[in-house]
Structure 1
Amino acid sequence: MSTFAAMRQGGRGYLLSMPAMVLFFCLLVLPLCLTLVLSFNVFDVQLGVKSGAYTLSQYLNLFSDSYFYEIFFRTFWISALVTLLCVVIGVPEAYILSRMGTPWRSIFLILILTPLLISVVVRAFGWSLLLGADGLVNQAIQALGGRPVKLLYTSFAVIIALVHVMLPFMIIPVWTSLQKLDPAAEQAALSLGASQAKVMRLVVLPQVMPGVLSGTLIVFGLSASSFAIPGLLGGRRLKMVATVVYDQYLSELNWPMGATIAVVLLVINLLVMLTWNRLVEGRYKKTLGV
């Protein structure tokens, strides 16, 4: 009777989760499968995509052209640098936020989350106004006696805007991890003669590593696939993978090539993120002695 009840309970669980599974399949799995199939379709300049005809030529062209290597390299080094800057800025900010009292903690938390309510496109246009040739930054440089500096349509503009956009995605997971940390553990370590730096390294940092891991994965993945910021602040010359996919779909009308680039970006992104997850998780378990 108990076995029958357990099976019935399990069946009920599957039944309740079925709508979410159908939604997940229709909105994520099915489009990815269609994109994968599209990447193997034959493309003709005059006729367009030939359904029912398949080839590996898009993948061969992608892996044999140094232009695409440059695009992927630029995308991933910018994403890695943005992730590093978000860790350097976001982790101390989350620690300070966790040590604030009421009502300042709520006020600063709202300030951190408020930019997420504004469209990325609007924020990108805001940065273009700041970094443009006649923007506020160059006006300040000229007021101080300097010469205007080219900031817009450079890697610097893309990086600083991506850090601004991605920083909340680093702060929130780390802050959530810090909420589980007992302040008495820090006080006990300090009372036993440990320095503040040693307490941060041996007590606080190991406890917040799950939050840092989550934040780095989110920031890196979103940065590598970002389109609005590179498109508006990088311009036509500073290409990243997402902007190249856009050009292949809407400018060149070469949908199979665009799908191929998107699939390769997804695979590389997954490999990098899974490798990083394994490295950080292994180090975290080793530190805790698990």
Structure 2
Amino acid sequence: MRKDPYLLLSPALLLFCGLLVIPLLLVAILSFYAFNGTTGVIPDFSPGNYFTIITDPFYGEIFLRTAGMALLVTVICLVLGIPETLILARMRAPWRGIFLVLVLGPLLVSVVVRTLGWSILMGRQGLINDTLLLLGLIESPIRLTFTFTGMVIGLVHVMVPFMIISIWATLRKLDPTVEHAGRSLGGSPLTVFRRIIFPQLMPGVLSGSIIVFALSASAFATPAILGGRRLKVVATAAYDEFLNTLNWPLGAAIVVLLLIANIVVIMGLNYYTERKYRMIFASGDPA
């Protein structure tokens, strides 16, 4: 066996282990320590922190809120991202490049800056409430900041570009003559999309969904600013344990459980989608 590939990969592998694997292992070890409000972290190896998180309804609600938020953001990004990508693909130069820059432009701005902008827009005296009041759609300002809805809106704005990039990469590989063939054989636009285009977009849809779900579930800045101190998600709960209560072992346990939950969801989604579409294409029926 040749050793050259492994020697070439060794610098990147060492960097990967030093910056990611080793810190995660240290966090996992820390999660099994105990904590005392007087003496601090106690090197008493036990799974007590995990039992506390699993049995406490407070943390259960936080994990459920985080999962629901990440799932809802992923679905909304799919609903917005697929049509946007298809429209971009059908544009001609130079409009395609211009609108692609506009869609991906928010990635050039800090997440914190974008979220602060949304907090201003969604405030009681912000542009959204002022517009709704001017149009007579509401009688009094509605509360959008420090709500679940506000967090979802802010995260969708942050995550949509990632979904569009993933679907765009897959869409660029498709042969447009396949769509034309379906239309020439009498298929309606909806049927052609459902039976021809969408199945071929599944790699991009899957990768985009995984990226958006993982980033939404672990997001901190947007939920912290738009959700406030009371509407916690897993990332803000871990932050509070690390820097407010100084209970590092409990915060580490929260982080480890979030990582495990993300891995389980991503691997499950990947396995289900690959298995389903492997069976579809093996049978020759793209419906």
* C-alpha RMSD over aligned residues: 1.1
Post-superposition Cα deviations, 1:122-153, rounded to whole Å, max 9, x if no partner, equal 01100000001111111122323421111110
Range with bigger deviation, 138-147 or 266-275:
138-147
Residue 31 of structure 1 is matched in structure 2 by 23
Residue ranges of structure 2 left out of the alignment (5+ in a row): none
Residue 81 of structure 1 is matched in structure 2 by 72
Whether 2:198 is the aligned partner of 1:202: answer no
SS in 2 for 1:287: helix
Question: Normalising to structure 2: TM-score of the pair?
Answer: 0.95
Identity percentage over the alignment? 50
SS in 2 for 1:54: coil
Post-superposition Cα deviations, 1:165-206, rounded to whole Å, max 9, x if no partner, equal 000110011111111111111111111111111111111011
Post-superposition Cα deviations, 1:200-246, rounded to whole Å, max 9, x if no partner, equal 11110111000000000000000000000000000111110000000
Residue 241 of structure 2 is matched in structure 1 by 248
Distance in 2 (CA, whole Å) between partners of 1:43 and 1:14 is: 42
What residue identity is the alignment partner of 1:116?
A: L
Q: Is the 8 A contact 1:206 1:287 kept in 2?
A: no
Alignment of 1:1-290 (within 5 A): 7=1, 10-51=2-43, 53-145=44-136, 146-289=139-282
Distance in 1 (CA, whole Å) between partners of 2:185 and 2:174 is: 18
Count of equivalent residues: 281
Residue ranges of structure 1 left out of the alignment (5+ in a row): 1-6
Q: Is the 8 A contact 1:206 1:288 kept in 2?
A: no
SS in 1 for 2:4: helix
SS in 1 for 2:250: helix
SS in 2 for 1:289: helix
Post-superposition Cα deviations, 1:23-66, rounded to whole Å, max 9, x if no partner, equal 11011100110000000012111111123x21221111111100
Q: Is the 8 A contact 1:141 1:147 kept in 2?
A: no
SS in 1 for 2:3: helix
Distance in 1 (CA, whole Å) between partners of 2:278 and 2:192 is: 18
What residue identity is the alignment partner of 1:98?
A: A
What residue identity is the alignment partner of 2:257?
A: V
Shift of 1:108: 1.2
> After the TM superposition, which parts of structure 1 deviate over 4 Å for at least 4 consecutive aligned residues?
none
Distance in 1 (CA, whole Å) between partners of 2:6 and 2:51 is: 42
Shift of 1:276: 0.9
Shift of 1:71: 0.3
Distance in 2 (CA, whole Å) between partners of 1:212 and 1:144 is: 37
Question: Normalising to structure 1: TM-score of the pair?
Answer: 0.95
